[in-house]
Every structure is written in structure tokens, then in C-alpha cells.
Amino acid sequence: MATDRDAQRGYVVELGVAVQQSVARLVRAPSHSRRAEARRRLARRWLGLSVAAAAGIALLMFAIDVAVIKAMPPRGEAALWPLRIFTDLAKSSYMLGALAAALIVIVLITPRLGPAVKPVLIAFGLRVQYVFFSVLFANLLAEVFKYAIGRGRPFVGGQADAFHYSHFAGTPAFESLPSGHATTAFALAFAVSSVWRNAGPAMWTFAVLICVSRVILLAHHPSDVVAGALTGVIGAMAVRYWFASRRLAFSIGRDGAIAALPGPPGHALKRVAREAFAP
């Protein structure tokens, strides 16, 4: 009995150390010598993306939004139920919950591992943290924009009006721009493809399809999903800079370009799983 209690006490201590170290890595002061170059490059990319997206959003608002939503099937049509199920895959609460659960499992497993494989799981967990915080930060930005802009969703008020606003209303009917689902999908696509490049095509395709689903379901105007895509990418880029400036999962080149460091290979993760769940 004493041995079991000692083992449990040791596990709890190691668990606390793992959590403390994880938090300390994320909040420590930036240390990368090229972070200024990365910050300038990031600012230029943000400016370019914002200008291009602003022009596209304005064009959509004035010339396309109303025509597109008028062409969509009526809201609530029974035949659209598969699309309603699909679109919820990018609901921020679902996605953040799944990522948080993955992080909790990783933290709980870490103390069980030996010194040879523990760094592999820590490296993998660091990348999951990046994805989680990218989606979280992008959605926090989106919520602020939604509240301040207060754009009405399609047919709020009974008419197709691309310029129906109630700033700071704080109600779901006036939270159309930017699209939260598009924000989540594009933040997820950018973050995942940044650390696992092979997953990029599938993730970007998923993000685009989510945007299409939001318009078909009359949850958003086309310009809303473009704004959401921009918010998601900008949020994930900001979090990537945060990680890179602290030498976490990313490196910074001489020109300020941020690139992912090599992650743990698949066979190493299989070894982690075997050891973590061994009887």
C-alpha cells in the first residue's frame, strides 16, 4: 500500500512539474535573435493580406452578397441536414474542446513515460498547443470584431440587405461579420499545415468547404466568410510568431521567414503510444 501511495504521489508531482514547465515555456520572454526581422515580415504580410481582403470584402458587399444569398435555398430546408452536420465540425466550441482534450491527455500521459520517449511527446504536444492557441486567439479576435461591427445576418429584418448593422448589439442576429466558423476553419488550416505540411491540402479544402456551407445555410454573406478567413489566418500567424520568438516548434530565417522545425516522426509517436498504454 505504501508503495502504491508513493507511486501516486510521485505521479502527481511529475504531473505538476509537466504543467509548470509547459506554461513556463509559453510565457517566457522572447529569446530569438531574429524576432525583429520576423515581426517586420509579419507586419508586411498582415498589411498585404488586409488590403487585398478589404478590397475583396468591399466588392462582395456592394456587388455580390445580396445576389448570392437570394439564390440560396430557404433557411431550414430539410434536405440541408447533412450540410448542417458538416458545418458544425468548425464550431469553435467543438474544435477548441477537442484540442483541449488532446492536450489534457498528453499532459496526463507525460509522467508515465521514460526519459527516452518523453521528449517525443513533449514535442508533439507543443505543436498541438500551437494549433489550440491559434484557433483560440483567432476566435477571440472574431468575437471582438463581431460585437463592434454588428452586421446583420442574411434576411435579418425580412429583407436581403448587405448593409444592415447594429453596432455593439451583442446579439446572434447581428454577429455576421466575420464568420466564426470560417475563422475557426482557416485558423485550423493555417496552423495544422504550418506544422504538418502534408495535411495542408486536406485542411485548406476543409476550410473552403466550411465557408461555402455557411453561405448555403444562410448563416453568413459571402463577405462574412472572407472576413472570417482573414481573421483566422492573421490570428494563427500571430500565434506562430509568439512561438517562433521563443524558439518553440518554429525557427526564424535570416530574412525573418518563420518555418516549422522538424517534428517527431510517426514511428516515434507509435513508440510513445505503446509505452504510455502498456499494462
What are the pLDDT digits (tens) for 165-176?
999 988 999 999
Q: What is the DSSP string of 187-233?
A: HHHHHHHHH-GGGHHHHHHHHHHHHHHHHHTTSS-HHHHHHHHHHHH
Angle at the Cα of 189 from the Cα atoms of 185 and 192, rounded to 5 degrees? 130
- pLDDT tier at 7 (50, 70, 90 boundaries)? low
Record the pTM. Answer: 0.94
Q: At what angle do helices 118-149 and 222-245 cross, to 10 degrees?
A: 140
Average predicted confidence (pLDDT) for the chain? 91
Amino acid at 109: I
Element (H, E) at 251: strand 250-252
> What is the rounded CA–CA span in Å between residue 173 and residue 152?
6
C-alpha cell, 132:
489550440
SS3 call for 58: helix
Q: Structural domain of residue 176, as residue ranges?
A: 2-276
> Domains in the chain: how many in total?
1
How confident is the model over 110-147, as pLDDT tens digits? Answer: 888 888 888 888 899 999 999 999 999 999 999 999 99
Alpha carbons 28 and 24: distance in angstroms, whole number: 6
Yes or no: say if 208 and 181 are a contact pair by the CB < 8 Å rule: no
**Backbone dihedral angles phi then psi of residue 258, each to the nearest 5 degrees:** -100, 130
Q: Tens of pLDDT along 204-236?
A: 999 999 999 999 999 999 999 999 999 999 999
